[in-house]
Structures are given as structure tokens and as C-alpha cells.
Amino acid sequence: MVNVSPQESRNYRKEFNKLQNRSDYYRRKCAGRAVKLARINKVVEVGSISLATVVAGTLSAALSGFLPIQPVQMMAIVFSALIALLHAVTRTFFNPGEIVKLFYVAGEFLEIRERAGKGKLHCGIKSNAELCVEYDDLIAEYTALRRVYIEYIRTPSYYRHKRRRLRQLGGEFTELPPMKNKSRVS
């Protein structure tokens, strides 16, 4: 067992605690934004599906002779334009791929937070060299992830697919990317 002075142990414990708090802050921010976007996306999708159902119902009622055709045609045109607008807005600003990316980033910040918590517990046990290497690795990973996150959040959604650094988040996300150093259980 390597002897670590109490002062050095407290300093590392303090630094690991700061890193744990900062990564938890960004994790909550990413997850909260993803949940908010998912809720808005769901509301817009339900609204457009409801309007499409109304259009289909009124058109079938007009074809059966239950309603006059002229006003129903005008209403169908207006509602169809509104549905197209809703889908254009939904696909541009509330892309499900972006929601998955934000949840993925929240998971990555959670991993950093948990590793910082473990590092904080090992402060009295590990040597200064081991703690320094572990802390430097965590800080480098945290800094890179935070830089990508800040660029992602500050970039308007219709430009996000053009940024190179955003590909670090896992590519185009047609499916969930594998977490680092972990195997997915089916």
C-alpha cells in the first residue's frame, strides 16, 4: 500500500468532487433538453396526425354526400398545408436523431461523473501518480465532450449536420452507438 499524505488526498478528493459536480450539471442539462425536445416533437406529431385524421374524415364524409364538397375541399387544403408546415418544422428543429445524440451525451457525462466518484473514493488508497493519471484522463475526456456539447448547443439545428466535430458524438445515429469499453447486452 502506497502512503499518500492527507493534504494531497484532500486536494485530489476536492478536484474529483468538482469534476463530478460539473459533469452532473452538464448531464442534467443534456437530458433535460432532450426530454424537452422529445415532448415538443411528440406534441407536434400528435397534432399533425390529428389534423390528417380530420382531413381524411371530412373528405370521406364529403365523398359520401354527408357534407357539401366545396367547403370541405377548402378546409382540406388549409389543413393539408398546416400538416406540411408542421412536418417541415418537426423534421428541421425537432429531429429524433438530435434527441438521441443529446441522450447519448448525457450518458457520457454520467460515465465521467461515476468514474470521478470512484476516483474520489480511491484518494486515500492509490498513489499520487495513479491519481494524477486517472484525473488527467477524466479531465481530457470531460473537456473534449464539453467542447462538443457547447458547440452542438450553440449551433442552430439546421447547421448541426455540417459540423465535423459533432461526428464525435457517434456519427449520424441511425442506431444507438456502442458505449466505450462496454458491451451491449441484448
pLDDT of residue 181: 53
Residue ranges in 122-157 assigned as alpha helix (H): 128-154
User: Mapping DSSP to helix (H, G, I), strand (E, B) and coil, where does residue 41 land?
Assistant: helix
pLDDT of residue 113: 93
63: containing domain: 6-169
In a domain, 184, yes or no: no
Q: Given the C-alpha cell 424537452, which residue does it identify?
A: 36
In a domain, 115, yes or no: yes
Q: Cell for 136?
A: 488527467
Per-residue pLDDT in tens (0 to 9) along the chain, 186 residues: 455 566 777 788 888 899 999 999 999 988 998 899 889 888 888 888 888 888 888 888 888 888 888 888 888 888 888 888 888 877 777 777 778 888 888 889 999 999 998 888 887 777 778 888 888 899 998 988 888 777 777 666 555 554 444 444 544 443 444 555 554 443
pLDDT of residue 5: 66
In a domain, 175, yes or no: no
Based on the number of CB atoms within 10 Å of its own CB, is 129 exposed (0-12), middle (13-18) or buried (19 or more)? exposed
In a domain, 99, yes or no: yes
0.85 cut: is pTM over it? no
pLDDT of residue 85: 85
In a domain, 130, yes or no: yes
Contact 34, 103 (CB under 8 A): yes
pLDDT of residue 37: 87
CA-CA distance, 123 to 112, in Å (whole number)?
16
Q: What's CA 138's distance to the chain center, in Å?
A: 21
CA-CA distance, 146 to 53, in Å (whole number)?
43
In a domain, 13, yes or no: yes
Task: Give the CA count within 13 Å in the CB-facing half-sphere of 45.
Answer: 11
CA-CA distance, 93 to 98, in Å (whole number)?
9
pLDDT of residue 4: 57
DSSP H or E stretch at residue 119: helix 96-121
Give how many domains the chain has, as a whole number. Answer: 1
In a domain, 174, yes or no: no
Please report, as a single letter, which amino acid is at residue 18: K
User: Mapping DSSP to helix (H, G, I), strand (E, B) and coil, where does residue 14 land?
Assistant: helix
pLDDT of residue 11: 81
Q: Cell for 80?
A: 393539408
In a domain, 34, yes or no: yes
pLDDT of residue 114: 93
Burial 139-172 (b: 16+ CB within 10 A, else e): eebbeebbebbeebeeeeeeebeeeeebeebbee
